[in-house]
Amino acid sequence: MRFGCLILGGLWSIIVSAGEWEYEVDPYYSNIAYYQTLDDSPIPELGERSEAQVYADLFFSSYLPRFFLLEASVNPMPILGVVLKSDEAEDTYEDMTVTRKLNLVEVVTAGFEEPYALSIFLGNMVKYKTKGDTESQSKGFMGYLASYGHLHIRKNELVQDRWGEFEWKLKGDRITEGRLLSWSFRIGAKVHDNPFVTDEFYVALKRERVEENGDVYSWVKNGGIEFKYRVDQSSGKTIGQQLIIDKKIPITEKGWVFSFGIGFVRETRAKYSGPLSLEESNTAFVLRPSISF
């Protein structure tokens, strides 16, 4: 399965090799990172396990992290959206306006609030065999992630804002012959130095599946879904939701995976205050074309 590791992305694509620099290039999320174990013990191999057994093992051992990861990431497409809305390229941005509430630049960049981030991850990882498949090696991982940046993106414009994000993350994959299923679950908090950007709690879910020989038109066999729900830390009021359904198209002879996401990102009036206030709740239509090599 040549393309199997391509869609794991971000932190997950890095933790397979200890003590090395790694990088990933993606239109929406590119990064360079360094991973190092905290001791000399190898990554545990649990043998044949169900997903429930794997995460039970991780949960009871996650209080003592065994490896760390340092990462610097950038979001190229959201940065391009900021550039296109700047004074130097304002005409180009206006040419992308379809209606008063619909601009094509916003359509392909919505949902990303930072141009970059610096992150550190502490956690544990295990390898296991999927029941019924003795050849492939699946993985599970759990731990704590802290990120920092000093800029915020609001409707393709930069806002000065020193922010910090802290989350607990559970992620896994199930690898069988010609198939990869991966998913993640995150709960976290994000705080902002800018008083006009609301501090939040959130929960996020993501699932992706690619089948080398599966029906390319099937959204179940070659597709994914991403959901995020966010609330104000002070009041508990909803400040936003995000739902994106992703279509995967494996190009197996080249080892590529093309993806095309469609969905929405909603922000309520509670998301911002003061000079950044929204006149009304805003729901942005989202398109996310991407390719992994």
- Give Rg (Cα) of the chain: 20
Residue entry with tokens 């099937």? 218
Question: Which one of 28-42, 84-98, 219-233 scores highest in mean pLDDT?
Answer: 219-233
**Stretch 124-132: mean pLDDT:** 73
Contacts of 241 (CB under 8 A, 6+ apart): 227, 228, 229, 230, 265, 266
User: What's the CA gap between 221 and 14, in Å, rounded?
Assistant: 25
Closest CA to 155 of 248, 47, 43, 272: 272
Question: What distance in Å separates the CA atoms of residue 32 and residue 35, rounded to the nearest whole number?
Answer: 10
pLDDT surpassing 70 at residue 186: yes
Contact 261, 288 (CB under 8 A): yes
Q: Which of 19-28's residues contact partners 24+ apart within 8 Å by CB, and which partners?
A: 25/293, 26/76, 26/290, 26/292, 27/76, 27/77, 27/289, 27/290, 27/291, 28/75, 28/76, 28/77, 28/78, 28/112, 28/288, 28/290
pLDDT-derived band at 179 (thresholds 50, 70, 90) equals confident
What pLDDT is stored for residue 133 in this prediction? 62
**Res. 265 pLDDT band, cuts 50 70 90:** very high
Arithmetic mean of pLDDT, 252-257: 76
**Mean pLDDT computed over every residue of the chain:** 84
Question: Is pLDDT above 70 for 51?
Answer: no
Nearest to 190 by CA among 235, 227, 149, 160: 149
189's tokens: 């908090």
Are the C-beta atoms of 204 and 173 separated by less than 8 Å?
no
Task: Report d(CA 23, CA 29) in Å as an integer.
Answer: 11
Burial class (CB in 10 A: 0-12, 13-18, 19+), 168: middle
Per-residue pLDDT band for 134 (boundaries 50, 70, 90) equals: low
Q: What local confidence, expressed as pLDDT, does residue 261 receive?
A: 93
Q: Where are the domains of the chain?
A: 4-222
Higher pLDDT, 160 or 258: 160
